[in-house]
């Protein structure tokens, strides 16, 4: 079996990379959307903003079609602490950030500030412990894999990466595409490859390490392991000639109705008829 079809019987090449643990409240926040909710007037989803340190959450109702600009406006409107930093160039001065000696006119304020700082340090230590435990369990069934610039790899394409292969049965295509050469390492877990010229319109050249496997070249017989059937390269544009229109339909996409026709292409099998 060729390397394009051979599935690796190994642990996944993917190690968890936890985000850095924040050291104070509102130093780092996460955003996500809750979708699929019943629509109430113009509101259909909920924007969730969570402070990654204190786990304080803000739930903001918004419209189903919330753009990036709308998200930023909602974020600024409902998360006041971040606005303070943007306007003043620094975080708001909280009790645990005040460094004062253990003497002064207000011992109660000093005691309160020291107690708050101790609680912050304790919470930070627990968050770091939880992150280490999470990584330990997540990496239990994973393995580490790294590549160097110039290495040749095989790339596993997911179903959504094959959408441009309309009219072809994905079960008859190879499971891996390649070999391709690595040209750059992106961060800790991603690599950029040197793609064929036709990739620029269909696929992005950066892949997660879990989508890659090393290519082993047979120096004694380079032709060994090469496949004979058709690869992922799309058919050249402009060379297909419509032979007949077999059917038509109306579909709704992005709240708009579109007319499509089932085309039988001249010189192609019936399995390669496509909706256009």
Q: Give the pLDDT score at 103.
A: 47
Find the mean pLDDT for residues 45-59. 87
Q: How far, in Å, are 16, 122, 126 from residue 23 at the CA level?
A: 21, 10, 11
Q: How far, in Å, are 8, 81, 93, 198, 229 from residue 5 at the CA level?
A: 10, 53, 59, 22, 12
Residue 112: band (very low, low, confident or very high) from pLDDT cuts 50, 70, 90: confident
Backbone angles phi, psi at 150, to 5 degrees: 105, -15
Exposed / middle / buried, residue 201 (Cβ in 10 Å: 0-12, 13-18, 19+): exposed
Distance CA 185, CA 188 (A): 7
Cross-strand pairs, 82: none
pLDDT of 104 strictly over 70: no
Closest alpha carbon to 273 in 233, 244, 232: 244
Q: Could you give the 3-state DSSP secondary structure of residue 174?
A: coil
Mean pLDDT of the chain: 76
- Contact between 185 and 205 under an 8 Å Cβ cutoff? The reply is no
Backbone angles phi, psi at 49, to 5 degrees: -115, 125
Name the more confident of 166 and 110. Answer: 110
pLDDT of 10 strictly over 50: yes
pLDDT of 33 strictly over 70: yes
Pair type for strands 190-193 and 206-208: antiparallel
pLDDT of 228 strictly over 50: yes
Report CA torsion sign: 59, 60, 63, 68.
Answer: negative
Q: Give the pLDDT score at 178.
A: 73
Of the listed ranges 27-31, 84-88, 253-257, 258-262, the least confidently predicted one is 84-88
Q: What is the pLDDT of residues 201-215, one digit of tens each?
A: 677 888 888 888 888
Q: What is the pLDDT of residues 115-170, one digit of tens each?
A: 878 888 888 888 889 888 988 888 888 888 888 888 888 888 776 666 555 555 66
Question: Which of the listed ranges 17-26, 125-134, 151-160, 233-242 does the model predict with the highest average pLDDT?
Answer: 125-134
Distance CA 196, CA 264 (A): 29
pLDDT of 266 strictly over 50: yes
Q: What is the pLDDT of residues 55-97, one digit of tens each?
A: 888 898 888 888 888 888 888 888 765 544 544 455 555 555 5
Closest alpha carbon to 143 in 218, 214, 192: 214
- Is the pTM here over 0.75, yes or no? no
Q: Could you give the 3-state DSSP secondary structure of residue 207?
A: strand
Q: What is the pLDDT of residues 180-189, one digit of tens each?
A: 888 888 888 8
Cross-strand pairs, 214: 153
Q: Give the pLDDT score at 86.
A: 46
Q: Give the pLDDT score at 87.
A: 45
User: Please, what is the end-to-end C-alpha distance for the chain in angstroms?
Assistant: 36
Q: How far, in Å, are 57, 231, 271 from residue 169 at the CA level?
A: 46, 12, 8
Distance CA 131, CA 143 (A): 18
- Contact between 4 and 175 under an 8 Å Cβ cutoff? The reply is yes
């Amino acid at each position: 079996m060729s390397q394009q079809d051979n599935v690796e019987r190994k642990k996944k090449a993917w190690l968890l990379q936890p985000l850095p643990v924040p050291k104070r409240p509102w130093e780092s926040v996460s955003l996500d959307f809750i979708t699929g909710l019943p629509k109430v007037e113009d509101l259909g989803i909920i924007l969730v903003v969570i402070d990654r340190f204190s786990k304080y959450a803000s739930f903001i109702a918004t419209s189903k079609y919330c753009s990036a600009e709308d998200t930023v406006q909602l974020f600024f409107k409902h998360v006041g602490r971040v606005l303070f930093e943007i306007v003043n160039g620094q975080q708001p001065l909280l009790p645990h950030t005040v460094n004062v000696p253990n003497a002064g006119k207000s011992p109660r304020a000093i005691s309160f500030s020291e107690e708050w700082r101790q609680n912050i340090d304790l919470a930070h230590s627990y968050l770091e412990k939880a992150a280490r435990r999470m990584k330990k369990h997540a990496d239990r069934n994973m393995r580490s894999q790294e590549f160097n610039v110039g290495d040749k790899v095989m790339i596993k394409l997911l179903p959504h990466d094959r959408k441009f292969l309309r009219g072809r049965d994905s079960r008859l295509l190879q499971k891996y595409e390649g070999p391709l050469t690595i040209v750059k390492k992106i961060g800790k877990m991603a690599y950029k490859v040197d793609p064929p010229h036709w990739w620029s319109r269909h696929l992005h050249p950066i892949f997660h390490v879990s989508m890659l496997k090393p290519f082993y070249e047979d120096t004694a017989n380079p032709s060994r392991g090469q496949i004979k059937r058709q690869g992922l390269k799309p058919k050249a544009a402009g060379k297909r000639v419509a032979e007949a229109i077999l059917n038509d339909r109306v579909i709704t996409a992005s709240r708009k109705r579109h007319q499509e026709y089932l085309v039988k292409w001249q010189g192609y099998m019936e399995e390669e008829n496509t909706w256009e």
